[in-house]
Chains A and B, each alone.
Chain A
Amino acid sequence: MGTGTTERPKIKNKQIRQKLFAELKAKKNKDRHKLRASRAKEEKENPALKEERLKTAVTETIESKRVFDETVGADVEGEDDFSSYFDGREPKILLTTNANARKAAYEFADMLMEVLPNVTFIKRKREFSMKDMSKFCANREYTDLIVINEDKKNVNGITFIHLPDGPTFYFSITSLIPGKKIKGHGKATDHIPELVLNNFTTRLGKTVGRLFQSLFPHRPEFEGRNVVTLHNQRDYIFFRRHRYVFRNEEKVGLQELGPQFTMKLRRVQKGIKEEIEWEHRPDMERDKRKFYL
């Protein structure tokens, strides 16, 4: 208290000072409560006042203070490498891990097998590089290659290679929680889920959104009532999976199926791991209000 002023406190006795300060705080608190009560009474009589107050008193968040990005909401121009999926080709996915992977990687692969339709798991062989594998998969008409990365018994990354000509995405993975650990979790069925993509707004974000879109077949099986959500917030992508039920016309029940994990985009490369289209650098996080997805 009173930094910048070199004067001694005017009330010399510390105990009296503390007591008085506590009284002052209590008084201010009481005043605030009184003000709120009276305001609530006024607003109950006149709801227009409340509306006006809520309109003016908007909380400032990092999202609302986001720096201007001209690519937000801009139209997607032309085509990209995912356009073959949108022409109607069904996705066919090969899933593998890093070389010499441990249990954690196989467990995560098991979870992804449940989520992604039409997926094959192959144990990774040391002698084949990512480029070799992409070539083999493209020859066998796979549309995507997914490689899980495990380090020190933790799953820490995932690579998506769209076949045959890229692009390649690398995400880091954190906060992985298997479905069994989630309280009140349900048991998943093998229906094709519906997909919810939230907040992929910039041009780069749209590319990432199209990647996830191209992993799931066009026609979800609605009778399964399964939804996979990829929610982007401040460049972190949250993966969640639920089953929903319409209890009545207004209420919807949700049951989480799991797993939960968080992804962060680290790198986008043209082709199969060639020129860099976008790469995360630590100095990108200096400006807390700048987002890329």
Chain B
Amino acid sequence: MKLIATAEDSGGFKEIVCVKGTDTSSQTAPQPEKISSFDEQGIRSHIQKLTVVPTSQGDVVVAARANGTISLYKTNETYDLINTATDGLVADSKDKDKFASLTTVSGYIFAASEQGRVTIIDPETIRDDISVASCSLKAPLSAFVGHPTQKGVFAYGGKENDVKIVRLFKESPFEDLKPEQLFQGKNVKNDRLDLRVPIWITNIVFINTDKDTEKSWNFITTTGYGQVRKYDTSHGRKPIMDKKLSDKPLKQVALTSNESEVICSDTNATTALFHVEKGTLVAKYKGSVGAVQGLHSYITDDEQLLVTGALDRYVRVFDINTREQVAKVFVGSKVTSVWLLDTSSGKSVPNEDNEDEKKKKKKRPLRRSEKEAQQENPDLVWEELEQLENDTKKRKT
């Protein structure tokens, strides 16, 4: 497996090459073949969001940094810097601005900041004269996603900023960039004490995109108050389903191959698979001690893997279906974002190892006290006593 993880403490990113079964916490398990750091710029300009974009000249790593620059790197051995775009963040805001999302849709890179600035980059132009466009949306913003099939259609939302669908452009963002609101969500009914339910959209995912038309969309939102909501805009502006799944803010979302199931992680070290229709917790991905900040699902026909990067400075890979931990690597720095490039890199491990481990578990080496107990037969004391008795009897006679 070849993974990319961002390192907050050093301000760079790391490439990890490892095999399945890697565990740095165990001395007997295979260790990662290579962990190498690239472009360390210090904690003040650490990478907040990272994504990988396919272009006509190979994949490109896109990194949005805390100082507002967006750096682009080649995916070769040395991750050479291709180009950078600046001013992705609002500099003169009262609260410090952060990147809220970094996505690629319809061939462009979109970076959205919490203060509502959207920066658009054409990845085909980065090698010579980089073309950058920007516009602004209603702040505060914590989620910004593009529609996978409809060009120029985006959904966003944030704290006290209910979910909105906008059309940013019709043909190309560099020609006719003009945000036009298509839909605005409506808050759910008051709770049973007749109090207003607070709004905090943390993530949006478009689902059933083949059913979407020019005027209706299906999507799921997660909130900072632990709810997961499902919208079908042909049924009105309120969500058609609203379930509270967690007590803690749900921060990260990853998709699975099944459209009714999503993987969410909260601020309390729980990463779990939720069934959206039923509103139930299906499975947990256990192991992480710190809150998961980077979540990436890698879905192909024969493999479904989930990569998590957490504040406990570990990158973990899980099998989505079996929930087993496939790899665990200590990276030495807090991780904000992760990406799985491919699973073919690194030597494959023969399956025998697993069987050996199971055997080992069953046959625990004996503790010292047990060993002594085995050696020191309890009958021995009795025999000794009898011997003593015989000796004393002999003396008497």
Min CB–CB distance A4 → chain B (angstroms)? 7
Distance in angstroms between the alpha carbons of A5 and B269 in the assembled complex? 52
Residues of chain B from 317 to 342 with CB closer than 8 A to chain A in the complex: 330, 332-334
User: Which of A11, A78, A274, A275 contacts B7 (CB under 8 A)?
Assistant: A78
Bound CA span A75–B8, Å: 15
| Distance between Cα atoms of A83 and B332 in the complex (Å) | 17
Question: Interface-forming stretch among A17-25, A155-163, A215-223, A249-257?
Answer: A17-25
Cβ of B309 < 8 Å from any Cβ of A?
no
Is B294 in contact with chain A by the CB < 8 A criterion? no
Alpha-carbon separation in the docked complex, A79 to B269 (Å): 23
Q: Determine the interface band of chain B, counting residues with CB < 8 A from chain A.
A: 35 or more
Closest-CB distance, A56 to chain B (whole angstroms): 15
Cα–Cα, bound, A5→B11 (Å): 68
Count chain A CB atoms within 10 A of each CB in B8, B43, B251, B382 and give the residue with the most: B382
- Do B25 and A10 have beta carbons less than 8 Å apart? no
How far apart are A212's CB and chain B's nearest CB, in angstroms? 19
Q: Contact at B332–A9, with CB atoms within 8 Å?
A: no
Instruction: Digitize B2-23: 1 where CB-to-A-CB distance is under 8 Å, 0 elsewhere.
Output: 0000011111000000000000
Q: 1/0 per position for B361-388, CB-CB distance to A under 8 A?
A: 0000000000000000011011011101
Least Cβ distance of B24 to chain A in Å?
5
Whole-angstrom CA separation of A270 from B268 in the bound complex: 11
A213 within 8 A of B: no
- Return A274 CB to nearest CB of chain B, in Å: 7
Q: Does A37 contact B (CB under 8 A)?
A: no
B332 close to A74 (CB less than 8 A) = yes
Q: Which of A63-71, A117-125, A181-189 contacts B (4 or more CB under 8 A)?
A: A63-71
Shortest beta-carbon distance, B215 to chain A, in Å? 38
Closest to A17 in B: B385
A residues near B334, Cβ cutoff 8 Å: 277
A contact residues, total (Cβ < 8 Å): 33
Interface centre among B9, B42, B381 (most CB of A within 10 A): B9
Q: Contact at B386–A275, with CB atoms within 8 Å?
A: no
Given known contacts A274-B267, A277-B312, is B7 in contact with A68 (CB within 8 Å)? Answer: no
- Please indicate the chain B residues that have their CB under 8 angstroms from the CB of A16 in the complex: 389
In chain B, positions 14-43 with a C-beta closer than 8 Å to chain A are 24-27, 40, 42-43
Give the docked Cα–Cα distance between A16 and B396 (Å): 15
Give the shortest distance, in Å, between A32 (CB) and chain B (any CB): 16
At the interface, yes or no: B49 with Cβ under 8 Å from chain A?
no
Asked whether, in the complex, the Cβ of A78 is within 8 Å of the Cβ of B311, the reply is no
Could you tell me if B385 and A20 are in contact, using CB atoms closer than 8 angstroms?
A: yes
* Structural contact, A2 and B378, CB atoms closer than 8 A: yes
- Distance of A264 Cα from B230 Cα, bound (Å): 43
* A277 and B290 contact, CB distance less than 8 A: yes
A276 within 8 A of B: yes
The chain B residue with its CB closest to the CB of A75 is: B332
7 contacts between A and B (CB under 8 A): A5-B379, A24-B385, A77-B7, A78-B8, A270-B311, A278-B290, A279-B268
B residues near A (Cβ < 8 Å) are 7-11, 24-27, 40, 42-43, 251, 267-269, 289-291, 293, 311-313, 330, 332-334, 378-379, 381-382, 384-386, 388-389, 392
Q: Please name 17 further chain A to chain B contacts, defined as beta carbons within 8 Å, in addition to the given A10-B385, A79-B10, A83-B43, sorted by A numbering.
A: A2-B378, A2-B381, A21-B385, A24-B381, A24-B384, A68-B27, A71-B313, A77-B333, A78-B8, A78-B9, A78-B333, A79-B42, A80-B9, A203-B313, A277-B311, A278-B290, A278-B312
